[in-house]
Amino acid sequence: MHPTDFTLAGALAALNEGAISAEELTRAHVAAVEALNPKLNAFITTTSEQALEAARASDARRKRGEAGPLEGIPLAIKDLFCTEAVRTTAGSKILGNFIPPYESTVTAQLKRDGAVFLGKANLDEFAMGSSNLTSAYGGVLNPWQRKNDPAARLVPGGSSGGSAAAVAARMALGATGTDTGGSIRQPAAFCGITGIKPTYGRCSRFGIVAFASSLDQAGPFARTVEDCAILLRSMAGHDPKDSTSANQPVPDFAAACARSVKGLRIGVPREYRLDGMPAEIEKLWRQGLDWLRDAGAEIVDISLPHTKYALPTYYIVAPAEASSNLARYDGVRFGLRVAEKDSDLRDLYERTRAEGFGAEVRRRIMIGTYVLSAGYYDAYYLKAQKIRALIAGDFDAAWAKVDAIVTPATPSAAFAEGENTDDPVKMYLNDVFTVTANLAGLPGLALPTGLDHQGLPLGLQVIGRAFDEETVFAVGAALERAADFKAVPAMRAGA
């Protein structure tokens, strides 16, 4: 077996048995990155030398009997996580030369547990996008191809497009992502892999470049549900450096994957049946529910009546928070500075920000600034916060009847570059099934359960109660066992 075909759990077992060394495992992934990245552009920065050095150190720790829970596992890190002494761009020109003097809490914990970092994965600029095309460092190619149109350049989804493409193409055993409105779950679905956005507060946001602070959550990508569970255990946990990080015990998520779903009540929200939803998405969803029923779960129709207001609510809350968070990019303390010889301070700010931010980021800053401006705050921002409360309340009511909710992950399979770009709102609709979990702060997992007529992966989503990722993993693992998804992308290591 080619080392890049291991699951993360399988690689850990092979490392434990001495069937492979961390250095061999990392070398195989470094070779995959070097072979595939020129085509896929999944990484903005590769750190092959540091990775091999870290792998050798990992082998030494294992030899001393000090192996951590992720000892020797090569990962891709979304370039939104600050990594000490390794350039962190957030996909933006404005941070093109930014070298953090500190490490994010999530990546520090992954390192603590023995993980090896292959490099920094491409993303939409400041995580704002659903295609990875807003990156200042170029788009990422989805490693999957349409059966009848293999030349079409498909997007990997976004914003964590590089992370998802890297894991799907077997350039990494797992990856970190962040999810503000669907940025882990939508690319996971588009790339035929698994990803989870945990409960808000489960992972520390310290050292993650901020987009919308009340929605942003870190989470893992991997090729199996169990692998995601293993990664999340290392990423999660209370951090005094993030006041919104929850002081909750971190359970053994991987153990929850083996739990039976017998007797669980699975909710099917009727508002997620969209007009004009493709028949194959409808079929995928029904099939998933049948599998769960066969496994002993009870399927319950539920209503989440404010669902249709979730996306417009998100497009007030997220830009408002983004406009505040991104005020820090001023050309003074770090990042790009653009000034004319006679620029005053204000002109320096305006030139730096106009040139440093791409079109989508500027658009969202403008929307956010407008909805927070005097005279409009109540009509837009306060109104959106109230509707957000109603959306969260819909879920609270649902949890009286069900233990988890199953929906499609995305309204379609991966689209091609150039599609959905004529109208910003059309692009925003990609997150129609995922954004509600961010607004309500709930965990959501996406996993591949089938293929569309073009041979592209389609995914389902499992949403759970706050801090009940264990049930989400149990339901996800049951769907995974039933779906037995074995399809692989055309472009992958070892192919």
Partner 1 sequence: MSLDTATVRRVAALARLRLEEQDIARVQGELNGILGWIEQLQAVNTEGVAPMAGGTPGGAAAMPMRDDVVTDGDQAEAVLANAPDREGEYFGVPKVVE
Report the distance separating Cα 79 and Cα 244, nearest Å: 22
Report the distance separating Cα 169 and Cα 164, nearest Å: 9
3-state helix, strand, coil in the chain (%, to 5): 40, 15, 45
Nearer to partner 1, 56 or 351 (CB): 351
Q: In what order do the strands lie in the sheet with 265-269?
A: 43-46, 116-121, 74-78, 174-179, 217-222, 194-197, 444-451, 457-464, 404-408, 265-269, 298-302
Q: How far is the CB of 198 from partner 1 (least distance, A)?
A: 11
Task: List beta partners, residue 222.
Answer: 174, 194
Report the distance separating Cα 84 and Cα 271, nearest Å: 45
Nearer to partner 1, 63 or 328 (CB): 328
Q: How far is CA 368 from CA 1, 78, 385, 423, 426, in A?
A: 51, 25, 14, 18, 19
Structure tokens belonging to residue 40 = 């896929």
SS3 301: strand
Read out DSSP for 465-480?
-TT-HHHHHHHHHHHH
Report the distance separating Cα 106 and Cα 233, nearest Å: 11
Report the distance separating Cα 7 and Cα 60, nearest Å: 23
Q: How far is the CB of 137 from partner 1 (least distance, A)?
A: 19
Q: Which of 159, 163, 234, 323 is catalytic?
A: 159
Nearer to partner 1, 146 or 205 (CB): 205
* Residue 159 a catalytic site member: yes
Report the distance separating Cα 160 and Cα 122, nearest Å: 7
Q: How far is the CB of 211 from partner 1 (least distance, A)?
A: 12
Q: How far is the CB of 181 from partner 1 (least distance, A)?
A: 12
Nearer to partner 1, 37 or 199 (CB): 199
Nearer to partner 1, 64 or 341 (CB): 341
Q: How far is the CB of 482 from partner 1 (least distance, A)?
A: 30
Strands (DSSP E) contained in 150-288 are 174-179, 194-197, 217-222, 265-269
Q: How far is the CB of 329 from partner 1 (least distance, A)?
A: 9
Report the distance separating Cα 314 and Cα 131, nearest Å: 18
Nearer to partner 1, 55 or 466 (CB): 466
Q: How far is the CB of 136 from partner 1 (least distance, A)?
A: 16
Q: Which of 78, 93, 120, 197 is catalytic?
A: 78
* Residue 183 a catalytic site member: yes
Report the distance separating Cα 9 and Cα 457, nearest Å: 23
Nearer to partner 1, 27 or 238 (CB): 238
Q: How many CB atoms lie within 10 A of CB 344?
A: 9
* Residue 262 a catalytic site member: no
Residues with a catalytic annotation lie at 78, 159, 183
